[in-house]
Structure 1
């Protein structure tokens, strides 16, 4: 298999004049972008960064971030991107944990980085404001450098993403060139991307979805159109102006786009392929998107940072909630919730834990310096995801949540996703999240947090659930109206904040 540097070089040689990346007024062809990448490779050399070293980046989706990503692939350097909203504590932990030689950042996270307590062995490189003792990324780009030659093999480390660390310190997920490229090629095949197609580069480049969009785009000589920070109005303008072909977003961002006041007046006819991942999509949003875009392809991609693709459903509207079947590089199983072995399979329609084969081409090999996490998640050559789900009579997977999200009410296991999907279909419900809150009698009581799109009462919502296929024990016993449903920076629902009381009740 090719390493990623060679893969990019092949795209340059195939079509050097083709447009490669757009970021505001910056529009670079493949050969011009390769020139910029080569300059950054030379700058990494001059800074003393060597093969196998880590470079931490704390950047939004700018063309400079994408350029640094590719430069690291050519140089055999392990790019370690962090959320630009990361706290000083997380920055300090990740830089130290990775033993990074360099940190590259913009103004937005500068205060957190300044407070992270990094020692003088870490070189600072800034993109916006000049800072004492730091080098300027703009100077790196201006270096007169020879064309970079790939120095990494397919077996070298390419990237290390850090998991969110909601209950413990973030975990590093190192991934090899071959796994990254296999994931990109599978992404192209499973989303049916064509040569030269245009992708909206909005999913963060510190997130597996953003990285996959970047690598896939270059592999097809496509155009990666940067949107540094998500804004629905800005996204709509770019879709129309740049004639975007492919959208690959988390459900929250789709929700914001299709509900924006500008949507109806925006020409989105160029978009023919929709893909989503990162969270379940409610039936209501799935239906609205299918009607609004009428895409040729609508893919539900289920995966993780550790193993990029678990399953693919390539006709999501035809079977709402289905995550489909194993991707072309993977095998998955559902085992019983208490399983200690991959052989303890759940029956059809029995809810259990989803596991994925570690021998798959896209899989990681274990966490960075976390034998405790490996012992918990890696067993018998399988990755125990911590996700719950079941396989129906047709053989399709349905993801129902996280093992930790399971609500046990009166001795019954209740998964929140089915309830959320039903409530999302109510015309006065904008967004919904279901959690279990402590209850003296039931242990946990099923509670629905509702962001309304119009006037609706608890009684009306209870009737909506009572007159449905929901089992009686799954009906919410409490409804809480809120102004916003808490989410992570990439749009994932943060149920833990609701159970901890970290929400604002709806204004009158």
Structure 2
């Protein structure tokens, strides 16, 4: 099997003069970009980074970051990207945990990196006018000539992502060239990509969705259109300028795009295929997105950093809420919550924990130096996701939330997703998140955090739930109207923030 470096070489040999990457006015063909990538790869070696060493990258989605990603694939270095919004403490943890042999950063991550004593013991590669006097300027790594580097083997580690760390320290997820290439090939197949596709490179390259967009384009001679930081107008400009053909975004970014004042069908007319992942898309938003883009393909992708793809539904609006069926490289099961064995399977229609087969081509082998996390998540060859879901009578998967998000009220188990989907269809509801609030009598009461579009009352929303057919015990007992819904840097709803930072203060009013 090819490693990723050889995969890139194959594309260069096949279509050397095709545009590979753009970033505003910056453009490179595959042949030109290979020269840059190889020069940077040799530069990494000259700085002492070798096969299986970690390079931590704290950078926005600029062409320099994409170039470093590919340079690491050729040099056998493990690219270890982290959120450019990270604090100095978070950067320090990752530098130490990964035993980093180098760190690369731009202006967005400079303050945090340079506040870490650990960064001064290793080479520091800076993009632009940031950093200390001893930094290595990224531009100084360009323009060199020498032997063609292709150091990695398929079983070498290509990439290490860090999970979000919502409970405890972030966990390193090392992924081999073999797993990364398999995930990219499956992404191409499952999204029906063709030669010359053009994708928007706005999902962060420290996130599995961003990495998949980068790799998949290189496999099919496609174009990766960098957007360093999501901004609706800048994103629309990039789509229009580069005639982007497909989008792969979290639901939040679709929401922000179609609600932007300058959005129009004409500006996104080149977009033919849509995909989303990272979070569930409400039924209401799904209908709005489909109406706005009118795509030929609308893919709901369910997966994670550890195992890229669990399930795929190529007709997302066919059965709203469904995540489809197992992907090309995966098998999934639903087991009883708290099960110790992957054989403790629940029948169709019954909720349980979703688990995935670790023998799948896209799967990781275990967390980086976290045997405790391995013991919790990896059992008898299966990955226990901590996601809740069920199979319907036709065999389609419905993901209903996290095990920790399950609301237990009056002894009944309630998943937030069903209530969120019902309320999302109300014309005066912009966004909604449902969670459980502590209650002495009921254990938990169901609360709906609503970002309204206009004036709407609790009574109106409660009647709407009744009309939608929600069982009485599933209807929210509290409606908390908020100005915004807190989300992570990649658009995931932060329920814990709502519960810890907002619920108490709102309940006291």
**Shorter-chain TM-score: what band?**
over 0.9
When the two structures are aligned, how many residues end up with a matched partner?
Answer: 505
Matches within 5 A, 1:17-416: 17-118=17-118, 120-130=120-130, 131-142=132-143, 144-146=144-146, 148-264=148-264, 266-416=266-416
Query: C-alpha displacement at 1:36, in angstroms?
Result: 0.4
Three-state SS of the structure 1 residue aligned to 2:386 is strand
Query: C-alpha displacement at 1:117, in angstroms?
Result: 2.8
Structure 1 counterpart of 2:485? 485
Query: C-alpha displacement at 1:93, in angstroms?
Result: 0.6
Alignment partners' CA distance in 2, 1:500 and 1:24: 40
Alignment partners' CA distance in 2, 1:82 and 1:479: 36
8 Å CA contact 1:126–1:136 kept in 2: the answer is: yes
Alignment partners' CA distance in 2, 1:412 and 1:242: 51
Alignment partners' CA distance in 1, 2:419 and 2:122: 48
CA offset digits 1:472-499 (Å, max 9, x no partner): 1110000001011000000000000011
**Which sits farther off after the overlay, 243-252 or 463-472?**
463-472
Q: Structure 1: 5+ residue runs without aligned partners?
A: none
**Which sits farther off after the overlay, 126-135 or 22-31?**
126-135
8 Å CA contact 1:482–1:505 kept in 2: the answer is: no
8 Å CA contact 1:237–1:266 kept in 2: the answer is: no
Matches within 5 A, 1:385-464: 385-464=385-464
Query: C-alpha displacement at 1:90, in angstroms?
Result: 1.1
CA offset digits 1:5-64 (Å, max 9, x no partner): 000000000010000000011010000100100110111111011111000000110000
Alignment partners' CA distance in 1, 2:147 and 2:27: 20
Aligned-residue Cα RMSD (Å) equals 1.3
Three-state SS of the structure 2 residue aligned to 1:448 is strand
Alignment partners' CA distance in 2, 1:57 and 1:157: 16
8 Å CA contact 1:19–1:30 kept in 2: the answer is: yes
8 Å CA contact 2:265–2:293 kept in 1: the answer is: no
Alignment partners' CA distance in 2, 1:135 and 1:85: 22
CA offset digits 1:106-160 (Å, max 9, x no partner): 1112111122331543211111224222111111123x22253311111111000
Alignment partners' CA distance in 1, 2:429 and 2:181: 41
Query: C-alpha displacement at 1:236, in angstroms?
Result: 1.2
Alignment partners' CA distance in 1, 2:311 and 2:110: 38
Alignment partners' CA distance in 1, 2:141 and 2:112: 24
8 Å CA contact 1:41–1:148 kept in 2: the answer is: no
User: Could you state the TM-score of these two structures normalised by the residue count of structure 2?
Assistant: 0.98
Three-state SS of the structure 1 residue aligned to 2:305 is coil
User: Could you state the TM-score of these two structures normalised by the residue count of structure 1?
Assistant: 0.98
Alignment partners' CA distance in 2, 1:501 and 1:442: 22
Three-state SS of the structure 2 residue aligned to 1:316 is coil
8 Å CA contact 2:12–2:34 kept in 1: the answer is: yes
